Amino acid sequence: MSRIGNQTIIIPEKTEVNIEGVTVTVKGPLGELKRTFKDVVKIEKTDEGIKVRPVEETPFTKAMWGTVVSHIKNMISGVNQKFEKTLIIEGVGFKAVVTGQKITFSVGLSHDVEMEIPEGIEVEVEKSNIKVSGIDKEKVGLVASKIRLTKKPEPYKGKGIRYSDEQIIRKEGKKAV
Q: CATH 3.90.930.12: does it fit domain 83-163?
A: yes
Q: Cite the residue boundaries of each domain of the chain with CATH code 3.90.930.12.
A: 3-80, 83-163
Helix, coil or strand: residue 73: helix
**Fold of the domain built from segment(s) 3-80:** Outer Surface Protein A; domain 3 (3.90.930)
pLDDT tens per residue, the chain (177 residues)? 678 888 899 999 999 999 998 899 999 999 999 999 999 999 999 988 999 999 998 999 988 999 999 999 999 999 999 999 999 999 999 999 999 999 999 999 999 999 999 999 999 999 999 999 999 999 999 999 999 999 999 999 999 999 999 999 999 888 877
Give the E-state strand segments of the chain in sequence order: 16-20, 23-28, 31-36, 41-45, 50-54, 83-90, 95-99, 102-106, 113-116, 121-126, 129-134, 160-163
The model carries a pTM of: 0.89
